[in-house]
Structure 1
Amino acid sequence: MSLVRNVGTIGGLTAVSRVFGFARDILLARVLGAGGVADAWQLAFQLPNIFRRLFAEGAFSQAFVPLFNRHYKEEGADLSEARRFSEEVLAILIPILIVFSAIALIVMPWVMGLFASDGLENDRDTFSLAILMARITFPYLAFMSLATLLAAVLNSMSRFAAAAAAPIMLNICLITALVIGAGMDGGEEAREKTGLMLAIAVSASGLFQLLWLGFWAWRSGFSMRLRRPRITAGVRELGILVLPAIFGAGVYQISRFIDLFFIATLPESSITYLAMADRLNQLPLGIIGIALGTAILPSLSRFIANEDAGGAFRLQSNAVELALLLTLPAAIALFVSGSAFTRAFYTGGAYTLADSLQTGAVVSGLVVGLPAYVLVKVLVPNFFARKDTRTPVYTAATGLVLNVIANFILVPRLGVVGLALGGAIGAWTNCGLLYLLLVRKGYYHLTPLVAGRIARIALAGAAMGAALWYAMPYGADWYTGSLPERVAAIVALVALGAAVFFALAAVLGVLSRETMRQLTRRTG
Structure 2
Amino acid sequence: MNLLRAAGTVSALTLISRVTGLVREQMVAALFGANAMTDAFQVAFRIPNMLRRLFAEGAFSQAFVPTLAAERAAHGDEATRGLVNATATVLFWALLAVCLLGIAGAPLLVLMIGGGLGPEAHEAASTMARWMFPYIGCMSLVALSAGVLNTWQRFAVPAITPVLLNLSVIAIGWALHECLGILAMAVGVMVGGVLQLAVQGPALARLGMLPRIGFRASSVRAAWRHEGVRRILRNMAPALLGVGVAQLSLIINTQIATHIGPGAATWVTLADRLMEFPTALAGVALGVVLTPLLSAAKAKASDADFSALLDWGLRLVLLLALPCAVALLVFAQPLVAVLYHYGAFQAADVAQTARAVQGYGVGLMGIVAIKVLAPGFYARQDTRTPVKIALVVLVVTQLLNLALVPRLGAAGLAASIGLGALINAAWLWWGLRRCGAYQAGAGWWGFALRVVLAVTAMGALLYVAQQQLPWLGLHKGERAAWMAGVLSAAALVYGVALTLLGVNLRALMRQRA
TM-score, reference length from structure 1? 0.93
Are residues 1:32 and 2:26 paired? no
Which residue of structure 1 aligns with residue 507 of structure 2?
517
Conserved 8 A contact 2:246-2:390 = no
Are residues 1:499 and 2:492 paired? yes
Distance 1:71 1:86, change over 3 A: same
1:72 aligns to what SS in structure 2? helix
Q: Which moved more, 1:25-34 or 1:482-491?
A: 482-491
Are residues 1:205 and 2:192 paired? yes
Q: CA deviation at 1:134?
A: 0.8
Distance 1:173 1:151, change over 3 A: same
Conserved 8 A contact 2:332-2:358 = yes
Are residues 1:148 and 2:143 paired? yes
Q: CA deviation at 1:250?
A: 6.6
Are residues 1:423 and 2:417 paired? yes
Which residue of structure 2 aligns with residue 187 of structure 1?
none
Q: Distance in 2 between matches of 1:377 and 1:250?
A: 17
Deviations 1:346-372 (A, max 9, x none): 112111011011101100001211110
Q: Distance in 2 between matches of 1:46 and 1:234?
A: 31
Which amino acid is 2:220 matched to?
P
Q: Distance in 2 between matches of 1:271 and 1:169?
A: 25
Are residues 1:214 and 2:207 paired? no
Conserved 8 A contact 1:347-1:480 = no
Conserved 8 A contact 1:468-1:496 = no
Conserved 8 A contact 1:333-1:497 = no
Which amino acid is 2:98 matched to?
F
Are residues 1:113 and 2:103 paired? no
Pick aligned residue for 2:483 from 487, 490, 494 = 490
Which amino acid is 2:491 matched to?
A
Q: CA deviation at 1:53?
A: 2.3
Alignment of 1:336-415 (within 5 A): 336-415=330-409
Q: CA deviation at 1:395?
A: 1.4
2:260 aligns to what SS in structure 1? coil
Which residue of structure 2 aligns with residue 58 of structure 1?
58
Q: Which moved more, 1:333-342 or 1:260-269?
A: 260-269
2:146 aligns to what SS in structure 1? helix
Alignment of 1:170-249 (within 5 A): 170-181=165-176, 184=178, 193-227=180-214, 228-230=219-221, 231-232=224-225, 233-248=227-242
Which amino acid is 1:223 matched to?
L
Deviations 1:160-205 (A, max 9, x none): 10110100000100110232256x4xxxxx5xx1322211111111
Pick aligned residue for 2:306 from 309, 312, 317 = 312
Deviations 1:2-55 (A, max 9, x none): 210111111111011111111111111100101122111111111111221243
Are residues 1:275 and 2:269 paired? yes
Q: Distance in 2 between matches of 1:260 and 1:44?
A: 11
Deviations 1:107-157 (A, max 9, x none): 111111122253x32xx3332111101110111011100111011000000
Q: Distance in 2 between matches of 1:241 and 1:392?
A: 12
Which residue of structure 2 aligns with residue 83 of structure 1?
81
Q: Distance in 1 between matches of 2:175 and 2:88?
A: 37
Which amino acid is 1:22 matched to?
L
Which amino acid is 1:324 matched to?
L
Unaligned 5+ runs, structure 2? none
TM-score, reference length from structure 2? 0.95
CA RMSD in angstroms comes to: 1.7
Conserved 8 A contact 2:14-2:159 = yes
Alignment of 1:279-294 (within 5 A): 279-294=273-288
1:240 aligns to what SS in structure 2? helix
2:211 aligns to what SS in structure 1? coil
Q: Distance in 2 between matches of 1:263 and 1:281?
A: 18
Q: Distance in 2 between matches of 1:283 and 1:200?
A: 25
Which amino acid is 1:81 matched to?
A
Q: Which moved more, 1:302-311 or 1:273-282?
A: 302-311
Which residue of structure 2 aligns with residue 41 of structure 1?
41
Conserved 8 A contact 2:311-2:440 = yes
Distance 1:125 1:257, change over 3 A: closer
Q: Which moved more, 1:388-397 or 1:47-56?
A: 47-56
Q: Which moved more, 1:207-216 or 1:251-260?
A: 251-260
Q: CA deviation at 1:247?
A: 3.9
Q: Distance in 2 between matches of 1:480 and 1:397?
A: 45
Q: Distance in 2 between matches of 1:70 and 1:448?
A: 30
Q: Distance in 1 between matches of 2:337 and 2:208?
A: 48
Which amino acid is 2:492 matched to?
A
Distance 1:248 1:460, change over 3 A: farther
Conserved 8 A contact 1:435-1:445 = no
Q: Which moved more, 1:364-373 or 1:164-173?
A: 364-373
Q: Which moved more, 1:457-466 or 1:8-17?
A: 457-466
Aligned residues between the structures: 506
Pick aligned residue for 1:457 from 448, 451, 465 = 451
Q: Distance in 1 between matches of 2:27 and 2:293?
A: 39
Q: Distance in 2 between matches of 1:297 and 1:466?
A: 36
Conserved 8 A contact 2:37-2:121 = yes
Which amino acid is 2:483 matched to?
I
Q: CA deviation at 1:243?
A: 1.6
Q: Distance in 1 between matches of 2:319 and 2:243?
A: 23
Q: CA deviation at 1:288?
A: 1.8
Which amino acid is 2:182 matched to?
G
Unaligned 5+ runs, structure 1? 185-189
Q: Distance in 2 between matches of 1:250 and 1:491?
A: 39
Distance 1:127 1:251, change over 3 A: closer
Q: CA deviation at 1:246?
A: 2.4
Q: CA deviation at 1:495?
A: 2.1
1:446 aligns to what SS in structure 2? coil
Q: CA deviation at 1:326?
A: 0.9
